[in-house]
C-alpha cells in the first residue's frame, strides 16, 4: 500500500526581481590615467630580499629542527607563522620544507 502525503508538488522557487541598471559616473578619473609608482614595489621587494637573506641561517635551523622532530608540514607552517621569521606565503614555506626534507634525506644536513 502506498501512502500519499498531503499537499502537491513543492512551490517553484520565485524568480529574482531584475535589478535596476545604474550608470556609474567616473568623472575625470579615467581620463587622467593612473598614478602608479613601480619604484615602491621595487623598494619593497628589495627590503624583503634583504630581510630574507638576513634570516637565512635562522630559517635553515628552524626547518631542520622541525623536520628532525618529525613534525608534519601543516604543523611546521603553523610554527613558522608564530616564529617571528619573515612570512611570505604558504607556498614558499612548503617549498622550503620540501627543500630541507630532501637535503636531510640525502644526508647533507
Q: Which residue has the higher pLDDT, 100 or 25?
A: 100
Q: Looking at the 3D structure of the chain, how many domains does it have?
A: 1
Residue 55 and residue 48: Cα distance in Å, rounded?
Answer: 11
Proportion of the chain above pLDDT 70, given as a percent? 72
Q: With the C-alpha atoms ordered 60, 61, 62, 68, is the resulting torsion angle positive or negative? A: positive
Predicted local distance difference test score (pLDDT) of residue 3: 58
Q: Which residue has the higher pLDDT, 7 or 30?
A: 7
Within a domain: 102: yes
Mean pLDDT of the 3-19 span: 69
pLDDT, tens only, 41-66:
677 788 888 888 898 899 999 999 99
Within a domain: 77: yes
Q: What is the dihedral of CA 38, 41, 44, 50, to 10 degrees?
A: -90
Residue 65 belongs to what domain range?
57-109
Amino acid at each position: 500500500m502506498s501512502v500519499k502525503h498531503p499537499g502537491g508538488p513543492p512551490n517553484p522557487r520565485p524568480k529574482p526581481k531584475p535589478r535596476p541598471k545604474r550608470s556609474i559616473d567616473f568623472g575625470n578619473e579615467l581620463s587622467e590615467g593612473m598614478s602608479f609608482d613601480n619604484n615602491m614595489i621595487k623598494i619593497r621587494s628589495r627590503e624583503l630580499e634583504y630581510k630574507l637573506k638576513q634570516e637565512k641561517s635562522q630559517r635553515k635551523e628552524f626547518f631542520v629542527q622541525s623536520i628532525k622532530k618529525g613534525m608534519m608540514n601543516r604543523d611546521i607552517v603553523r610554527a613558522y607563522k608564530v616564529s617571528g621569521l619573515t612570512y611570505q606565503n604558504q607556498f614558499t614555506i612548503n617549498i622550503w620544507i620540501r627543500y630541507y626534507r630532501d637535503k636531510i634525506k640525502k644526508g647533507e644536513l
